[in-house]
Amino acid sequence: MTNTIKGLLVVAHPDDCVIFGWPIIKKYSEIKWKILYMTYDKKQARGNEIEKFWNDQGISVDFCGVIDDHVDLDGGTIVSFDKGQVREQILKLATGYDVVVTHGEDGEYGHPHHVFVNETIRMIDTPQIYFSNGHKANLFIDAKPLGEQDLSKLPLHKGVIEGFIHRYDGFYHCDKRAAEILEQQ
């Protein structure tokens, strides 16, 4: 009998997990996944919609409740929230897992919220997997055989998700400890 692996996927925004994390969640479905969102909460329409979407698939979610202010993306730096306070909240909620999946160090396309989440998660001594551009990836998951997400269940997120040509591209970078965990699955 093997122990159930507990995995946490930490992302900045509700759509990020569908865009970047979906292939690894589907491929490694025997991992007990939880998703932590830095922004939104379940009282807001986007948070409520994404929570129901994942709960229907047997995946629990949690939120930090940070307001998703586009001033950070527009200016290229975080000015809309207290980074120390949010970092502390993420670190508290991200402990106790066997493996953590999160944004790459480049924030996929430079989004300051993505970069911040990556920098925060790197502070935890837990095996880690990062969303990756193809040239840095050491794990590729072909998402085509896994099927497409039913975006009709995500009307508030659908437009953003469809705007990413390379969504579900399945490129990840695993540290050595995370790679060993995935090999056992």
Query: Is 21 within a domain?
Result: yes
Q: What CATH number is associated with residue 179?
A: 3.40.50.10320
pLDDT level of residue 121 (50, 70, 90 thresholds): very high
Model's pTM, two decimal places? 0.93
Q: What is the pLDDT of residues 67-82, one digit of tens each?
A: 998 899 999 999 999 9
Mean predicted confidence (pLDDT) in 12-39: 95
What's the pLDDT at 169? 82
Q: Are the C-beta atoms of residues 59 and 177 closer than 8 Å to each other?
A: no
The range of the structural domain enclosing residue 135 comes to 6-183
Query: Is 73 within a domain?
Result: yes
Query: Is 67 within a domain?
Result: yes
Q: Which residues pair with 6 in a beta bridge?
A: 32
pLDDT level of residue 166 (50, 70, 90 thresholds): low
d(CA 70, CA 145): 35
pLDDT level of residue 1 (50, 70, 90 thresholds): very low
Query: Is 135 within a domain?
Result: yes
Average pLDDT, whole number, for the chain? Answer: 92
Total domains in the fold of the chain:
1
Query: Is 1 within a domain?
Result: no
How many CB atoms are located within 10 Å of the residue 4 CB? 10
Query: Is 162 within a domain?
Result: yes
d(CA 9, CA 102): 6
Q: Is 149 a residue whose pLDDT tops 90?
A: no
What percent of the chain stands above pLDDT 70?
95
